[in-house]
Structure 1
Amino acid sequence: MRRLAEQTPAHRDRHVDLLRAVAIVVVVVGHWLAVHVTYDGTLRGESVLRLVPWTRPFTWLFQVMPVFFLVGGFANAASLTAHRERGGTITGWVLHRTDRLVRPTTALLATLVPAALLVRTLGVDPGLIGTAVWLATIPLWFLTAYLAVIVLTPPMLALHHRYGLAVPIALTVLVGLGDAARLWLRIPYVGEANYLLAWLAVHQLGFAWQDGRLPDRRGVALPLTVAGLVALVLLTVVGPYPVSMVGTTGQEIENTAPPTVALLALAAAQTGLALLLHAPARRWLRRAAPWTAVVAVNSVIMTLFLWHLTAAVLGVLALYSTGLLPQPPPGSPAWLALRLPWLVVLALILTVLVAVFGRIERRSGPRPGPGDATGVLPALLAVAGVAGVLAGLLGISLAERGQGPAGLPAPGLAAYFAGATVLRFARRRFAHRRHRRDAPPQSPPHGRCW
C-alpha cells in the first residue's frame, strides 16, 4: 500500500478519496452502534434509534451516504471524461466501472447462499437463518441505487454540460413534489421515484464540483453549508419531517425510505462542508502515513461496506448467544460503556473478512482503452447484464426476510447471477482484448481506488 501511495499521480484529488473512505467507515460504525441485541434463549434485535430517542439527532453525523454519492459523482465525471478523451467508448467505461461493484457483491452472495443452506441442513432455525441473511444483505439497497447512477452517468453528465446546476435543482424540486404526493395527497407509488431522483441530485453536485461549477471557495462553501443546515432544522424541528436521518420503526415518515427533501438539505450541508475542507485536507494528505491509510481503505472499500453487517451477525452469535456480553438497558451508562468492546470485536471480525475477500475486489480488470467494447453486441450485452444485476439486487432488497431455503428470493438470485455472468463475459470478451493481446504485465494501476 505504501508503494501504491507513492505512485499517486500529482493531479489526483486526494481529498475525494479521503471523503469516500471516511463516509464508508462512518456508515459501518453507525450501523454497528445502532444495533441492540437481547438474548433470552432466542436472539432478538432492535434499532437503538427506536429504543433511545435521544440518539436520533446523532444521525445527522452518521448519515453520510450523501457524501459517498457526492464523491461518486466527482470520480465518475473525472473517469468518464478522461476515458472519452482517450477515445474510449461508453460501453467500455460501463463494463469497467461496474466491475468494481459486481465482483465483491458476487463474492458476498456466492458465500451467503451456500452458508445458509449448510446451516439449515445442520438443523438451525430457518427463521434465524432468514433474519441473519436479511441483515447481512441490507447493504445491497445502497448498491442498487449507486449502480443505477453509474449507468446513468453518461446521459446525466451530458445534461450537466448543457444545464449545469439547474439539473440538481430540478431534481430536488421533483423530490419535493414526490414528498407532497406521497405524504399529503396520499398518491401511491409516486414518491418511490425519489429513491433514484434524490441520489441523482447529489451525484450531479459531484459533477459540478469536479468541473468547477461548484467551486471550493469559502464564499460558496460557507453559505451552502449554512443554508443546508438552516433548511434541515426548519424541515425537521419545525416542519413535518423526523429528526432522524435513518429510518426508524413506527414513524410515518422516514427520511431514507424513500429519500426526502430533508435528506437533501443534509446533503447540501455536507457538500458545503466538503468544499470548505478541500484545501486543508489536500495539504494534510501530502503526508505519507494518512495518504497510505486512505489508499488502503479505498482498495477494499466495497468489501468493507458489503461485509460489515455480516460481521455484526457473527459478532451477535459470538457475544450474545454465548452470554459473553452483558445486556444492560439500552441508553444506560453500562450499555454505553459496552459499546466499545462491541465495536472492537466487530472490527476484528470484519478485518478477517476483508483479509479473505478483499483480494477479490482488488483484482478488478485493467482500464479499457480505445477500440475496446465497440459495436452493437457489447452494448447489448452490457445493457442486458446491468439490467439483470439491477433486477436481482432490487428483488433481494425488497423481499421479505426468510424467503427461499437460503433466506433470499430465488428469482432475485437467478437474475443477479445471470446478469453478473453476462457482464463478466462481455468484459472478458470485449473490454480488455487489447490489454490481453498487446499490453505487457504490469502492476495494478492506482486509478482502481476510484
Structure 2
Amino acid sequence: MGRLRRLAAATPASRDRYVDLLRALAIVLVVLGHWTVATIGYDATGQPTGRSALPDLPWAYPLTWAVQVMPVFFLVGGYANAASLTARRRRGGDATGWLLGRSARLLRPTTVLVVVLAAAALVARALGAEPVLIRAVVWFATIPLWFLAAYLVVVPLTPVMYALHRRYGLLVPLALAGLVAVGDLGRLLGPAETALPNYLFGWLAVHQLGFAWYDARTEPPPQDGHAGPPPDRRTGPRSRRLPVSRRAGWTALLGGLAVALLLTGPGPYPVSMINVPGEPLDNAAPPSLALLALTTAQLGLILLLRGRAERWLGRDRPWMAVIAVNAVVLTVFLWHLTATILLVGALDAVGLLPTPAPGSAAWFAWRVPWALLLATVLAVLVAVFGPVEARTGRPPAARDPEPSDAGGEGRRWWATGRAALTAAGFAAVVYALVDNAVTPRSAPEPLGLPAPALVAYLAGAGVLRLLRSGWGSRG
C-alpha cells in the first residue's frame, strides 16, 4: 500500500489517468466475461471440458455489446503508443528503440506463461499424460495469445501508421474500414479467405482512432528535432484531431448504435459481438463492420464519461487501484484461463465440480461463487507471476546505444541492422502465436504448443531481449 501511495503521489500532472482506467476496465471485463459465460461438463472419456454457454442463451446476445471491450484496448493502445512514441522522439530516440521498449512490457509476462506451460506439459508427459490431453489443456490456457498476436502486429506498425495519421488524419481509419467492408463481402459471398486481412485492417482502424484522440489532447510534436507545425485546426475526414466535445460524443454513441442495429437486425451480421459456435459469421474474429460500428458507439460513451471519470480519478484511492491493476494487467489477462483450468481440475479431483445445464437456475446461482473462486486462484497466480510484469521498467535499449564506430556510415548500418533484427524478432513471435492458435486442440502435442511455434517464440523473444540489453552496441 505504501508503494502504491508513493506511485500515486509521483504521478505527473500530464499523465492521462482516464486512459489507464480504460485499459484496466477493458481487461477486467474481458476476464469476467470469459468466466461468466463458461460452462463446464464432461466429455465422452469422463474428462472435464469447457465451452461457451452463449449458444444456449440467445437472449444474452445483446449483452455482449457491453462486454466486448477489445476495441477499447486497441483504442487505448493507440493513444498510449502515440504518446510514448512522441515522447521518445522528443528525447532524441528512434522508433526501433521505442519498439524494443514496448516489447519488454508485452513479452516478459508472455514468455513466463509460455515457458511455464511448456514445462508443465513436459512434467505431465513424464507422468504418463496423453499428448492429446496435454494439447487440449494448453490450447485452452493459451486462448488469450490469439488476441496478443493481433496486438503484436499492430504495435510494430505504429511509427508508419502514425506518420500516415499525421498526413491524412481520420481518412486513414475510414479507408481501413472500407477494406474491412471488402473482407466482409468475401465472408458473405466468397471466398471467405478475403476476410483474413480484417484481423489487421480492423484493429488498425481502431488503433488509428487512438492516435486521433491523443492528438486532440496535445499539441503536435516536434519533427526531427525542429519545432513542429502549427496546431492542426482542420475539421472533417482529414483532421488529425478526434472531435471530443459532448456533441461529438453523443453523435458517435447514437450514430454507432444505429449503424450497429441496422447491420445486425435487417443486416447480415450476428447480434452477438462475441463468437458463438455455429454462427456463419463472427463479428470479432476477424473484426467486422458491425464491430467497428459498436467501437464508434463505445468511443462516444468514453468521451461523454471522461469529465466525470477524471474528477473521480483525482482522488487517491481510485487512482491507486488503477495503478495496481495496470501494474499486472497483462498478467491478469494471460493467466485468467489457466486459473479456470486449475480450479476445474481441483474441484474435479475432490468430486465437487458442479456441471449444471447452461441457463438453468443452478447454473445462474453458480456464477457468483464460481467467479469468486476463480478470482482467488487468479490472485495467487498474479502474486507469483505478476512481479515479472510489475518490475518491467524502461530497458537499457531505450537509451539508444550507439555502435562502436560512431561514424555516419557505421551508424547507418547499425541502425538498419538493429531495425531488421527487431522486425524479425517480432515476426517470429507473431508466427509462433498464430501457429499455436491455428493448431487444432486435438493435435497430439507433447509440449502442449507445437514445437515449431515454441522454437520460433523463444528465438524471437530471445533476439528482442538481446537487443534490449544493448547487445552488439559496443563493438
TM-score (norm 1): 0.93
Per-residue CA deviations over 1:55-89 (Å, capped at 9, x if unaligned) read 22211111100000000000000100111111001
Residue in structure 2 matched with residue 266 of structure 1 by the alignment: 294
Match of 2:187 among 176, 182, 185: 182
The separation in 1 between residues aligned to 2:432 and 2:137, in whole angstroms, is: 19
Trace 1:100-115 onto structure 2 (pairs within 5 A). 100-115=105-120
Residue in structure 2 matched with residue 346 of structure 1 by the alignment: 374
Residue in structure 2 matched with residue 16 of structure 1 by the alignment: 19
1:238 to partner: Cα distance: 1.8
Trace 1:51-200 onto structure 2 (pairs within 5 A). 51-184=56-189, 186-200=190-204
Residue in structure 1 matched with residue 439 of structure 2 by the alignment: 399
1:369 to partner: Cα distance: 5.2
Residue in structure 2 matched with residue 423 of structure 1 by the alignment: 464
Residue in structure 1 matched with residue 207 of structure 2 by the alignment: 203
Q: What is the one-letter code of the residue matched to 2:433? A: L
The separation in 1 between residues aligned to 2:195 and 2:13, in whole angstroms, is: 44
Q: CA RMSD in A?
A: 1.7
Secondary structure at the counterpart of residue 44 of structure 1: strand
Residue in structure 2 matched with residue 448 of structure 1 by the alignment: none
* Runs of 4+ with deviation above 3 angstroms: 367-374, 430-433
Which stretch shifts more, 132-141 or 369-378? 369-378
The separation in 1 between residues aligned to 2:362 and 2:426, in whole angstroms, is: 48
Match of 2:244 among 193, 216, 224: 216
The separation in 2 between residues aligned to 1:320 and 1:31, in whole angstroms, is: 20
Aligned residues: 432
Secondary structure at the counterpart of residue 354 of structure 2: coil
The separation in 1 between residues aligned to 2:458 and 2:354, in whole angstroms, is: 41
Residue in structure 1 matched with residue 219 of structure 2 by the alignment: none
Per-residue CA deviations over 1:234-291 (Å, capped at 9, x if unaligned) read 1112211111111111111111222110111111111111111111111100010010
1:311 to 1:122, Cα distance in 2 relative to 1, 3 A: same
Secondary structure at the counterpart of residue 355 of structure 2: coil
1:365 to partner: Cα distance: 4.1
Contact 1:92 1:431 (8 Å CA) reproduced: no
1:257 to 1:121, Cα distance in 2 relative to 1, 3 A: same
Trace 1:372-383 onto structure 2 (pairs within 5 A). 372=401, 375-383=415-423
Contact 2:132 2:445 (8 Å CA) reproduced: no
1:277 to 1:56, Cα distance in 2 relative to 1, 3 A: same
Secondary structure at the counterpart of residue 45 of structure 1: strand
1:363 to partner: Cα distance: 2.6
1:432 to 1:60, Cα distance in 2 relative to 1, 3 A: farther
Residue in structure 2 matched with residue 445 of structure 1 by the alignment: none
Q: What is the one-letter code of the residue matched to 2:327? A: S
1:326 to partner: Cα distance: 2.8
Match of 1:48 among 48, 53, 71: 53
1:387 to partner: Cα distance: 1.4
The separation in 1 between residues aligned to 2:117 and 2:472, in whole angstroms, is: 29
1:321 to partner: Cα distance: 4.7
Secondary structure at the counterpart of residue 51 of structure 2: strand
Residue in structure 2 matched with residue 355 of structure 1 by the alignment: 383
Residue in structure 2 matched with residue 35 of structure 1 by the alignment: 38
The separation in 1 between residues aligned to 2:110 and 2:152, in whole angstroms, is: 12
The separation in 1 between residues aligned to 2:308 and 2:36, in whole angstroms, is: 30
1:414 to partner: Cα distance: 0.7
1:398 to partner: Cα distance: 1.5
Secondary structure at the counterpart of residue 292 of structure 1: helix
1:83 to 1:431, Cα distance in 2 relative to 1, 3 A: farther
Contact 1:247 1:257 (8 Å CA) reproduced: yes
Which stretch shifts more, 30-39 or 106-115? 30-39
Quick check: 1:242 aligned with 2:267? no
1:403 to partner: Cα distance: 4.3
Q: Percent identity?
A: 56
Residue in structure 2 matched with residue 441 of structure 1 by the alignment: none
The separation in 1 between residues aligned to 2:460 and 2:253, in whole angstroms, is: 41
Q: What is the one-letter code of the residue matched to 2:245? A: R
1:35 to partner: Cα distance: 1.0
1:109 to 1:2, Cα distance in 2 relative to 1, 3 A: same
1:117 to partner: Cα distance: 1.6
1:419 to partner: Cα distance: 0.4
Match of 2:425 among 368, 375, 385: 385
Trace 1:238-317 onto structure 2 (pairs within 5 A). 238-317=266-345
Contact 1:140 1:393 (8 Å CA) reproduced: yes
Which stretch shifts more, 288-297 or 173-182? 173-182
Q: Bigger radius of gyration, 1 or 2? A: 2
Match of 1:408 among 444, 449, 463: 449
The separation in 2 between residues aligned to 1:353 and 1:196, in whole angstroms, is: 31
Secondary structure at the counterpart of residue 470 of structure 2: helix
Which stretch shifts more, 296-305 or 375-384? 375-384
1:46 to partner: Cα distance: 2.1
Extract unaligned runs of 5+ from structure 2.
217-240, 403-413
The separation in 2 between residues aligned to 1:369 and 1:26, in whole angstroms, is: 32
TM-score (norm 2): 0.88
1:348 to partner: Cα distance: 0.6
